[in-house]
């Protein structure tokens, strides 16, 4: 007899009076209002056409030393030849401090560690703005925080324009013509098709940030019509929603002229060898981004130098970026906040509530080197249940029993109402920052509807009754509930990321709050990359997770809102035979999300998201914990930082602030460049040229 037997059949019989009473009792309450938070800065809302255009300009410019040391020396073609036919031109009107000047460095501090440069092959570059700076994508969404809500649509980027066919099933996209990778090789549809055919469609490859074929719609196809034209064909009619998925992190092509020769389809490499073909020590990997890695010192620093072929300019024809160098000091996320407020670092997303008070105190002084810019409450955490009972993550018998518990609504409700969210939030930071987060879409987002949000407030007694009701009682008297019929103790592992104090503090809070419930929850704390791998391969019972952009914007990462495909959900992916064992309400969520993707009628989209929010929160799809605002910490010497830029919405601030047009006025420039007046070298060569 299986000691972890939880077949609901048996338990069903155990439906005691207490359960009926609890089930009859309405456990819900109105969602408490979030504390007022006045410090939030507001964007200057504009139209997309106010930000950029693609246009050939009469003349182009570059830093004087590039001309004198490289062009005049004949080791680099003139700037006009390095730029595309019609570069992307940033409009001065949208640049808070106007046309900039060349020079200086932005000194990032990050908590991740680069695994290598093969982003589309699934390697992390250490996060913290490295991959966001290296990888350019078909469309762009980070800066959309400043676009008028009724004009919201993804920005053009590598795809400079597109049009739909009459019947709405085909989308023809025009790529920027004549743009080059940072080593001078042409960027063409070949790079797009290599990403699609040999990385997204190839099940042996898991691109970083999780692109799967279903991210772009079940049955969608993509083909190249010529070097600069690609055509999508969708089953749905005009699913404009997928244009958001063509932005960061799911459609950012890599340099096929470098990667393809290493792919198993075109070499004798294994898939592991392909993924690891470009280790962190490999310098000058070709990129479409504004800076190229030229130096890497393990556990110390990654240094990047300006990309001489970068395909964006300002209205005066100055080739961007303005900043010559980027540093990424390899440290911790908490140290990023400390160094930014101290002035030894230049940038931070203040995202860990525990650091708020100290950062606010330090930056309040007139002499403070950095300023804080708080945004909306777009940082939120949930407790996720692994809902796969058909093999995702190959659970052992103990794990399988937990999956079956997770799939029981009364069990999920019990966990939710045993969590005192107010106390959890206060344990991170006191004051008007944290708000109770019931789960689902975030309060304060365009599609959020309070009336559609089902909230189960803290009620330990009712929680215990619910668990009694499903037959989990402490039969061996050791204080831990047992599975029915004298089964084993209920033991649950809780996955959390050690790179953030907030993640482990919340996890410890949850573990402590499960004790009075008689559940033994065991911490499984893992470093970032290991945590990401465990989450993606389903090796967890429960998981503390910082919410993705889908809960903030809905339109970014929409496919992650529900298991719309075998590998799109954060906590329910396909098991054996690539089959998803969806619960009935999950099917409702999938249908609602697919209907949202398939319509561009805004009123209908609003209604669909009300339905989504109600089904999600009523069924405790995941347990919301806390929600709070983040703050951008930026050194005061930097100019062109957009007002109201949130640290996280459609993307992180490293994208939102458009770093390529950030500059430091000459009189404020620091002397931080480690490799002044140098440019990246040939791919794989040591250091700068």
Q: Which residues bind ligand BQZ (CB under 6 A)?
A: 127-129, 132, 333, 349, 351, 528, 532, 652, 654
Closest CB to ligand BQZ: residue number: 127
- What torsion, rounded to 10 degrees, do the Cα atoms 598, 604, 609, 615 define? -90
CA-closest candidate to residue 234, choices 248, 247, 246:
246
CB of 256 to ligand BQZ, least distance (A): 24
CB of 491 to ligand BQZ, least distance (A): 27
- Please say whether the beta carbons of 357 and 429 come within 8 A: yes
Nearest to ligand BQZ of 127, 195 (CB atom):
127
Structure tokens at 679: 């440019």
Helices then strands, each counted (H, E), the chain: 21, 22
Nearest to ligand BQZ of 198, 499 (CB atom):
499
Nearest to ligand BQZ of 351, 404 (CB atom):
351
- Please say whether the beta carbons of 262 and 274 come within 8 A: yes
CB of 528 to ligand BQZ, least distance (A): 4
CB of 482 to ligand BQZ, least distance (A): 36
Is 628 strand, coil or helix?
A: strand
CB of 90 to ligand BQZ, least distance (A): 22
Nearest to ligand BQZ of 28, 504 (CB atom):
504
Nearest to ligand BQZ of 496, 554 (CB atom):
496
> What residues have CB less than 8 Å from 271, skipping those under 6 apart?
204, 205, 264
- Please say whether the beta carbons of 580 and 574 come within 8 A: yes
Edge-first strand order for the sheet with 105-110 is 105-110, 325-330, 301-306, 291-297
CB of 546 to ligand BQZ, least distance (A): 7
Q: How far is CA 127 from the centre of its chain?
A: 10
Q: How far apart are CA 689 and CA 213, in angstroms?
A: 39
User: Quick count: other Cβ atoms within 10 Å of Cβ 183?
Assistant: 21
CB of 347 to ligand BQZ, least distance (A): 9
Residue found under tokens 């990050």: 110
Q: How far apart are CA 517 and CA 202, in angstroms?
A: 45
Nearest to ligand BQZ of 127, 228 (CB atom):
127
Nearest to ligand BQZ of 129, 239 (CB atom):
129
CB of 446 to ligand BQZ, least distance (A): 21
Nearest to ligand BQZ of 487, 644 (CB atom):
644
- Please say whether the beta carbons of 528 and 112 come within 8 A: yes
Nearest to ligand BQZ of 472, 625 (CB atom):
625
CB of 502 to ligand BQZ, least distance (A): 10
595 CB-contact burial (10 Å; exposed 0-12 / middle 13-18 / buried 19+) = middle
Structure tokens at 601: 């009628």
Nearest to ligand BQZ of 139, 188 (CB atom):
139
Q: How far apart are CA 684 and CA 657, in angstroms?
A: 30
Nearest to ligand BQZ of 132, 609 (CB atom):
132
Q: What is the DSSP string of 534-579?
A: HHHTT--SEEEEE--THHHHSSSSGGGGTTSSTTTSSS----GGG-
* The length of the chain, given as a count of residues: 689
CB of 542 to ligand BQZ, least distance (A): 18
- What torsion, rounded to 10 degrees, do the Cα atoms 619, 625, 628, 631 define? -110
CB of 136 to ligand BQZ, least distance (A): 15
């Amino acid at each position: 007899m299986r000691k972890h037997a939880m077949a609901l059949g048996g338990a069903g019989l155990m439906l005691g009076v207490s359960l009926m009473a609890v089930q009859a009792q309405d456990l819900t309450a109105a969602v408490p209002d979030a504390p007022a938070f006045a410090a939030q800065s507001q964007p200057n809302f504009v139209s997309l056409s106010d930000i950029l255009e693609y246009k050939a300009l009469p003349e182009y410019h570059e830093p004087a030393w590039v001309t004198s040391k490289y062009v005049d020396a004949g080791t680099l073609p003139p700037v006009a030849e390095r730029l595309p036919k019609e570069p992307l031109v940033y409009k001065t009107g949208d640049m808070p401090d106007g046309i900039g000047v060349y020079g200086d460095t932005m000194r990032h501090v990050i908590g991740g560690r680069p695994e290598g440069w093969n982003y589309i092959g699934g390697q992390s570059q250490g996060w913290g703005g490295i991959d966001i700076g290296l990888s350019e994508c078909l469309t762009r969404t980070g800066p959309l925080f400043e676009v008028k809500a009724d004009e919201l649509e993804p920005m053009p980027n590598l795809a400079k324009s597109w049009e739909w066919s009459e019947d709405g099933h085909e989308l023809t996209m025009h790529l920027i013509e004549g743009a080059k990778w940072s080593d001078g090789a042409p960027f063409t549809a070949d790079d797009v098709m290599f990403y699609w055919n040999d990385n997204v469609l190839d099940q042996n490859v898991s691109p970083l940030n999780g692109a799967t074929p279903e991210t772009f719609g079940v049955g969608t196809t993509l083909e190249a019509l010529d070097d600069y034209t690609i055509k999508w064909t969708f089953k749905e009619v005009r699913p404009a929603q997928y244009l958001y998925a063509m932005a960061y992190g799911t459609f950012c092509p890599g340099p096929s002229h470098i990667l393809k020769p290493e792919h198993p389809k075109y070499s004798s490499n294994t898939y592991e060898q392909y993924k690891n073909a470009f280790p962190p020590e490999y310098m000058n990997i070709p990129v479409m981004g504004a800076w190229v890695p030229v130096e890497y010192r393990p556990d110390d620093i990654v240094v990047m130098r300006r990309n001489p072929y970068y395909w964006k300019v300002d209205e005066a024809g100055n080739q961007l970026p303005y900043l010559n160098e980027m540093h990424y000091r390899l440290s911790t996320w908490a140290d990023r906040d400390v160094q930014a407020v101290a002035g030894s670092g230049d940038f931070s997303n203040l995202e860990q509530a525990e650091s708020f008070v100290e950062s606010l105190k330090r930056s309040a002084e007139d002499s403070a080197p950095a300023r804080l810019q708080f945004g909306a409450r777009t940082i939120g955490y949930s407790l996720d249940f692994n809902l796969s009972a058909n093999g995702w993550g190959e659970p052992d018998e103990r794990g399988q029993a937990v999956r079956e518990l997770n799939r029981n609504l009364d069990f999920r409700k019990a966990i939710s109402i045993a969590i005192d969210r107010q106390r959890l939030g206060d344990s991170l930071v006191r004051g008007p920052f944290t708000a109770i987060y019931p789960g689902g879409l975030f309060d304060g987002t365009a599609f959020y509807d309070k009336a559609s949000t089902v909230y189960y407030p803290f009620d330990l007694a009712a929680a215990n009754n619910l668990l009694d009701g499903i037959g989990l009682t402490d039969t061996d008297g050791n204080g831990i509930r047992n599975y029915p019929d004298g089964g084993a103790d209920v033991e649950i592992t809780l996955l959390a990321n050690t790179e953030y104090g907030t993640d482990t503090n919340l996890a410890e809070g949850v573990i402590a709050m499960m004790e009075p419930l008689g559940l033994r929850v065991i911490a499984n704390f893992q470093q970032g990359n290991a945590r990401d791998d465990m989450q993606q391969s389903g090796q967890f019972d429960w998981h503390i997770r910082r919410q993705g952009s889908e809960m903030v914007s809905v339109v970014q990462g929409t496919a992650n809102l529900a298991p719309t495909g075998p590998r799109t959900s954060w906590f329910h992916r396909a098991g054996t035979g690539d089959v998803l064992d969806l619960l009935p309400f999950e099917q409702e969520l999938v249908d609602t999300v697919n209907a949202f993707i398939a319509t561009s009628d805004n009123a209908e989209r609003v209604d669909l998201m009300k339905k989504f929010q109600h089904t999600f929160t009523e069924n405790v799809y995941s347990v919301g914990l806390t929600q709070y605002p983040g703050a951008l910490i930026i050194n005061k010497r930097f100019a062109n930082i957009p007002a109201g830029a949130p640290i996280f919405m459609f993307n992180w601030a490293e994208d939102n602030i458009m770093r390529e047009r950030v500059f430091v006025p000459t009189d404020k420039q620091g002397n931080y460049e480690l490799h002044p007046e140098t440019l990246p070298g040939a791919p794989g060569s040591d250091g700068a040229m």
